[in-house]
Amino acid sequence: MGVRAWVGGPPGEVVEAALTGRFDIMTSPALLEELRRVLAYPKLAKMFGDIDEVVELITVASHVVRPTVTLDLVRDPDDNRSWKPPSPAALT
C-alpha cells in the first residue's frame, strides 16, 4: 500500500518522494523519538498502526546523524534542535 494511503496531499507526496530516493532524509535520534511519541497519539496511532514499523521504515530510509551542535534559534527551548553540520563529502 502506498504512503498516500496514510498521508495525503503535499505531505504524502514529500514522504513518497523521500522514501523512493528522490531526495535524502536527514534526521537524528531525538527527532525519531519525537516522531515515535507523536505517532502514539490515539488519533494517529489508529491511522499508522505499528508505530515501531513506521519509525523503523523512516530510520532505514534516512541518514541518522549524531548531533554535535545545539541550535538556539527560537524562543521555545523544546523547538531548538541539536544538529551535526554536514561533512564536505556529504555535500557533493
Q: What is the rounded average pLDDT of the residues 17-21? A: 82
Q: What is the rounded average pLDDT of the residues 64-85? A: 72
User: Does 3 fall in a domain?
Assistant: no
- pLDDT tens per residue, range 21-73: 888 888 888 889 988 999 999 988 888 888 998 899 888 888 888 877 777 77
- Which residues fall within 8 angstroms of residue 23, CB to CB, at 6 or more apart? 17
User: Does 48 fall in a domain?
Assistant: yes
Count of domains for the chain: 1
User: Does 12 fall in a domain?
Assistant: no
Least confident stretch, 11-20, 55-64, 75-84:
75-84
User: Does 13 fall in a domain?
Assistant: no
**Would you say how long the chain is, in residues?**
92
Contact 46, 56 (CB under 8 A): no
User: Does 16 fall in a domain?
Assistant: no
More confident residue, 9 or 3: 9
User: Does 51 fall in a domain?
Assistant: yes
Q: Give me the domain span that covers residue 65.
A: 25-85
Confidence (pLDDT) at 36: 93
Contact 6, 16 (CB under 8 A): no
C-alpha cell at 67: 548531533
